[in-house]
Structure formats: C-alpha cells, structure tokens
Amino acid sequence: MLQVYRYLTYFLFPLLVILIYFRSIFNKEDKVRYKEKIWSSHFKASKENNKKLIWFHAASIGECLSIMPLINELNNKNKNLNFLITTVTLSSSKLLKKRLFQHQNIVHRFFPLDLKNLAEKFLNSWRPDLVCFVDSEIWPNFLFKIKEKNIPLLLINARITKKSLNKWKIFFNFAKKVFNNFDLCLAASEESKNNLNNLQVKDLKYIGNLKYSVQSNPDKLEEPNKNILNNYKTWCAASTHSGEELTILKTHIEIKKKYSNTLTIIVPRHISRSFYIKKLSNKFNLSTQILHDNDSIRSDIEVLIINSFGVLPKYFNYCKNIFIGKSLIKERKNQGGQNPIEAAKLGCKIFYGPYVYNFQEVYNLLNSYGIAEKVNNEQELSQKIIENFDNPIVEKKEELNLLNSYGEKVLNETILEIRKYL
C-alpha cells in the first residue's frame, strides 16, 4: 500500500505544482515562499551545529497557537535548542511572522509536498533531533522517512475523529504501519485516545488538550478606535465561514430594534472573503467598513469587517459577547466548529451553532462552566446578546482559574514527555 501511495504522490506532483502556482496568483499562497513546498533548493536550512533542533509541524493557525506556549517554555528553560515550525497555510505564516520576529532560534518554513524524495532532502537539509507532528497531520512519506533515519517522532495534541478513524480502517494494515512510526502519541481528547487505540499505536497517553495552555496577552485597541467603539453596543462574530454572515447580519438587525447604537464586528476565518461580506452587508443598507491594519474606525459604521491576521484576541478582550463560527453550517456538521478556548480564557460569553463536532468536548466543558451557550438561529442569538447588553457579563473568575490551571497542567506534562526524547 505504501508503494501505491508513493506512485500516486509522484503522479499528482506536477498537478499539485500547477495548483500551488495558481493559488499564489490569487493570493492563497505566499507569492515568493510557495516554492518551499515544491523545490528542495528553497528549504533554506539554518541550524547551529552545537544546538539540538526540534521540528514542529502544525497545519494552520489553531495548531500554531497551541504549540507556542510549548515552544516558549522549552526555549526559556533550555538555551541549547533551535526550533523549526512548518505549516501549510498562508494565514499561519503571517501569524508566525508577527509572533516570532524577535526569536533568532525559531524559524518558519512551509511544509513540502509529501513526496519521498522531498522528505529525504528536507530531513537531510535540516537534520532534526526530534520531530513533533501536531493534531491530525499525518503524511506517510515523511513519517516513514523520519523513522528510517531513527529520529524520535511524536504526535502531540493528537486529534483523530470517528470519521477519520473509519477512513483509516479501510486500509487498516497500512494505517497501523503509518501510526506505528510514532514513538509516542499524546491524545487531545478521550475520543481521540480511543480512536488511536483502535489503530494500535505503540505508546499512547491522554494528558489533555494543549489548546487550554494558550495564554493570550492581547494588544490593546488603539485609543482613537477604542473611543469610537465606546459609543456603541458592540459584539463580535469570530472565525465565520461562508453561509454564516447572513445570519450574523440578520442578528445585527434584530439587536438594532432595541439598541440603535449596535456595532457588529465580523472577523472571517479567511480574510480574503472580506469584500464579499461587505457586499452582502450593503444589501441590507448597513454602513460597513473593512478595517485593515492601522486603519481608523469611522464614527458612522454599523458593521466592521476585520481584514488583518492575528488580531482576534484584542477584540475578544474588548467585546465580551462572542459568536464562534463554522458552527451554523449543516453541510459541515461532521467537521464543524472552531476553537473557543482563547475567547473563554479572556472572559467572554461564547455563543455557537449546533455543529461543533470537532470541538464537542471543549464546548461540553465550557457549557458546564456557564461560559458557552448554543444557539440555532438569529432570533436566539440576538435574544441572548440583548440579554447580556441589558445585564453586563460578570467574569467567572473561579471557572477561568480552573481553565488556566488545567492548561498549565497539560503544558507541563507535555513538556515532560517531550524532554524524554531530547
């Protein structure tokens, strides 16, 4: 089966190169650095020979945020380490550019396509001492090559859904061989632990979800913009996807019936959709502004669309009524939800739709603390936000302390496991 997979990747390689190139034209890939994904000449390894290198592979923004506390702690406690972070998405690279600019020993590269020869050249170029794949990033050619070179390989904050498990079971013997490349799997949830156990991994532990360890120190809103927002009743719809903004705008209109000074902030998951959302908002004759980095907020707006990376925390810190997207889309019910933990730890009241399959355990915990609440439509969402406008949210300090303590525990135990392989 491995040979079939390798033949398939070689066959598809030219098509993937063309696809990546065209994505770069439409600003879905870095216009210069996309070559890191396809040509070994662009791997640009930078490793100090006297320091050990830990390579973390995290697909996108959520995974990147989950490993940053881990990397910071390891970096603070051991000055003899270098770090390589690979990701897939353009948004993750922009986030890391903001977060890592002051660190000389932490480098970001785009993850190459999963070809045997690219895996070989990448590993020979970087020569990592330890490799940690994050979440559900499973790339067979890389995994087998890492194992072949006897490099310790971990799957941390591992997330394997029932749907993923069923797909792997179609090629069960191949799946067992793939997952047996990992020296250790740290499951992010009880469900993932059970599913990984079904795949017969060698060493499996459940510590907890590393995303609880993320500590936000959000930038403050620029004073002129904050002064503008203070004139409004403000709430935020975060990480929205196509099909959800219509509900958000209808919610805005419902809230306005009671509070004419309502301001709705929309932060789409993919900021390239900002102009589409503005066009949709204009259909309702709502005064709308797309806010770019360093822009000033107009004083006459009703809907503010954020067109910047890595700024969600400062809006979470200001707006305590938050809707988390990718949760109202029925077509994505088996893959729905976005991570609500960051908003929760900043003292927000969180609302979400019925489709949060990927984060169900997280939402169950936040529901039990009274931090999160499910809504099904604009009527329910507008009603809840109006209730909170009438009675301002009181921060649940005890519950937040529990979340922080749990996050610290997960972080410390994960570090202990990683250090066993250094």
Chain segment 249-304, per-residue pLDDT in tens: 999 999 999 999 999 999 999 888 999 999 999 999 999 999 998 889 999 999 99
Nearest to 23 by CA among 11, 10, 33, 9: 33
CA distances from 381 to 2, 8, 285, 365 (A): 49, 47, 21, 20
* Entry pTM: 0.87
| 395 has a pLDDT exceeding 80 | no
pLDDT, residue 419, reads 94
Tens-digit pLDDT profile for residues 320-377 = 999 999 999 888 777 788 999 999 999 999 999 999 988 999 999 999 999 999 999 9
pLDDT bracket for residue 393 (50, 70, 90): confident
| Domains present along the chain, CATH in parentheses | 2-206 (3.40.50.11720), 223-401 (3.40.50.2000)
Contacts of 345 (CB under 8 A, 6+ apart): 214, 215, 216, 400, 403, 404, 407
The answer to whether residue 401 scores a pLDDT higher than 80 is yes
Percent pLDDT > 70 in the chain is 99
Looking at per-residue pLDDT, the higher value among 315 and 146 belongs to 146
DSSP string covering 162-201: HHHHHHHHHTHHHHHHHHTT-SEEEESSHHHHHHHHHTT-
Q: Which of 234, 160, 149, 221 is nearest to 183 (CA)?
A: 149
User: Which helix (H) or strand (E) element contains residue 71?
Assistant: helix 61-77
Give the model's pLDDT for residue 101. Answer: 66
Q: Is the dihedral of CA 236, 242, 244, 247 positive or negative?
A: positive
